[in-house]
Amino acid sequence: MNGPRGAVPKEIGEIVELVDRIFRPNSPSSMGQEFPLLFAERNAENLRVIEADGKIVSHVGLWMGKLSLFGSEVTSGSLGAVCTDPGYRGKGLATKLVEDAINRAIRQGAGVLFVSGERDLYRRAGCVPAGMNWIYSFSPADPLEGEERVFLRSMESISSSRLYPLLEILQAEPVRYRRTLGEFVELLRADPCGAALNWTSRLISLSPEENSRATAYLYLRTKEEEGKLEGVIREYAGDRTLLASALPALFDEYGLHRLRWEVPNWDFPLKVQLERMKSPAVEPVLGTLKVLDFPGLMEELRPYWERRLERKEAAEVRFGVRSGGGKDYLKTKEASFSFEKRSDLTRFLFGHPKDKGEELPRVLQKILPLPLPNPGCLNYI
């Protein structure tokens, strides 16, 4: 067997054929088209493979990106499209590739890894459900009332000129994936996991006046289930009051039976608007997470937590990995926390709906849980 190793561009077609055979059997859609950033030639080295008998038999896809978290730029990795040819399973190939991909992400400076699943394969690698989203499930029976008048425009064709105003809205978001205009166009045209799973996707711009410039947008997916139209908002950005005010129009315009809206737990402005109509449930973010380089992550996040702390408080924050035992630690003047497992550290930093635990010291309450964008957005891998 040859690998784990990075792919070369000429092997991407073979990788996509393997991935489609596992994840898209009998489907006209191809994951090579759905995930253009992952399967781009420029990302070939991050497509980790094992070759046997003259063919690629196992694959783990890694995509490196940047997150903007309240002014801090954080390097992240996203891992997905993990599969092994059925004839070569039971040999630990995927386990080797996941470990290899994690190590490559660390070498490229990733502080945190998003994984598009919760399999035991990922749990064994230290990835855990973490982070928190407020989950709203709206129906026409709810008191859907908007504070502002809103005009919806569904974007039928995708082009750079049409998307540029929406990119400006996205770039003003305090927590987001950093995305170029070209990537925005690619992702919308690709519609990851959309048509392949029988979803109809719409990019909808929102304006306070007819024919005026958009001040918000949302990415809506709909699917008919048992004769009723279900919807989910996969991504949104912009004016929170306008976004919440769009709910009645969304139900009227598209005939929705139910609408699911996942709101990251840092987005209090939108939560305030939506809670006037419905109380949310709380769930961990999609998939699993792993902190890879704890000291590196905290250093990248330093602008975030220093803005939230007084100078004296910021000087008291200490973190790192203890020599010898190798335990991660985070301490302030008031308390000290040590973590034997990286999975425990991940849940401590990003939170989890079921974790109550001891009350955090005042300083850490100002910075934890750490904010995350919704990994189920257009950047989903």
94, part of any domain: yes
Question: Which pLDDT does position 357 carry in this prediction?
Answer: 57
34 contacts 5 by C-beta, under 8 angstroms: no
In the structure encoding, which two tokens stand for residue 241, read together?
A: 């009051």
Structural domain total, the chain: 3
52, part of any domain: yes
Q: Are residues 278 and 314 in the same domain?
A: no
379, part of any domain: no
Q: Please state, in angstroms and rounded to a whole number, the distance separating the CA atoms of residues 265 and 12.
A: 37
Q: Note the pLDDT tens digit of each residue in 90-114.
A: 999 999 999 999 999 999 999 999 9
Question: Which pLDDT does position 147 carry in this prediction?
Answer: 81
What's the DSSP call for residue 128?
A: B
Residue where a domain stops, chosen among 283, 299, 332: 283
Q: Are residues 252 and 341 in the same domain?
A: no
What is the chain's pLDDT, residue by residue, as a tens digit (381 residues)? 899 999 999 999 999 999 999 999 988 889 999 999 999 999 999 999 999 999 999 999 999 999 999 999 999 999 999 999 999 999 999 999 999 999 999 999 999 999 999 999 999 999 999 999 999 999 999 999 888 899 999 998 899 999 999 999 999 999 999 999 999 999 999 988 887 788 999 999 999 999 899 999 999 999 999 999 999 999 999 999 999 999 999 999 999 999 999 999 999 999 999 999 999 999 999 999 999 999 999 999 999 999 999 999 999 999 999 766 679 999 999 999 999 999 999 999 999 988 865 688 899 999 999 999 999 999 999
Using alpha carbons, select from 167, 193, 141 the residue that is nearest to residue 31.
Answer: 193
Question: Which pLDDT does position 324 carry in this prediction?
Answer: 62
Q: Are residues 332 and 256 in the same domain?
A: no
Q: Are residues 144 and 276 in the same domain?
A: yes
Q: Are residues 149 and 279 in the same domain?
A: yes
3-state DSSP call for residue 99?
Answer: helix
Q: Please state, in angstroms and rounded to a whole number, the distance separating the CA atoms of residues 182 and 170.
A: 14
**b/e per residue 211-246 (b: at least 16 CB within 10 A):** eeebbbbbbbbbeeeeeebbbbbbbbbbbbbbbbbb
Residue 352 backbone dihedrals phi, psi, to 5 degrees: -160, 140
Q: Is 13 exposed, middle or buried (0-12, 13-18, 19+ CB in 10 A)?
A: exposed
Positive or negative torsion for Cα 50, 127, 171, 260? positive
102 contacts 290 by C-beta, under 8 angstroms: yes
Question: Which pLDDT does position 39 carry in this prediction?
Answer: 98
In the structure encoding, which two tokens stand for residue 31, read together?
A: 């994951």
Using alpha carbons, select from 264, 265, 270 the residue that is nearest to residue 376.
Answer: 264
339 contacts 251 by C-beta, under 8 angstroms: no
Cβ-based neighbour number of residue 161 at 10 Å = 7
19, part of any domain: yes
Residue where a domain stops, chosen among 228, 252, 283: 283
Question: Which pLDDT does position 211 carry in this prediction?
Answer: 87
Where do we find the tokens 């891992």?
79
Residue 64's alpha-carbon distances to 78, 97, 220, in angstroms, are: 6, 16, 26
Q: Are residues 152 and 270 in the same domain?
A: yes
Q: Are residues 45 and 18 in the same domain?
A: yes
Domain that holds residue 336: 288-365
Question: Which pLDDT does position 323 carry in this prediction?
Answer: 66
Q: Are residues 251 and 308 in the same domain?
A: no
Query: CB within 8 A of 251, min separation 6: which ones?
Result: 138, 140, 144, 259
Where do we find the tokens 């003047």?
333
Q: Are residues 183 and 272 in the same domain?
A: yes
81 contacts 49 by C-beta, under 8 angstroms: no
372, part of any domain: no
Question: Which pLDDT does position 156 carry in this prediction?
Answer: 86
Amino acid at 133: N
Q: Are residues 246 and 327 in the same domain?
A: no
Residue 48 maps to which CATH number? 3.40.630.30
Residue 182's alpha-carbon distances to 187, 198, 303, in angstroms, are: 9, 26, 28
Contacts for 334-339 with beta carbons within 8 Å, 24 or more apart? 334/361, 334/362, 334/363, 335/360, 335/361, 335/364
Q: Are residues 183 and 298 in the same domain?
A: no
Q: What is the CA radius of gyration of the chain?
A: 22
Helix axes 181-190, 160-171, angle to 10 degrees: 110
Question: Which pLDDT does position 145 carry in this prediction?
Answer: 85
Residue where a domain stops, chosen among 236, 253, 283: 283
98, part of any domain: yes
Q: Note the pLDDT tens digit of each residue in 70-88.
A: 999 999 999 999 999 999 9
Q: Are residues 328 and 220 in the same domain?
A: no
Cβ-based neighbour number of residue 91 at 10 Å = 14
371, part of any domain: no
128, part of any domain: no
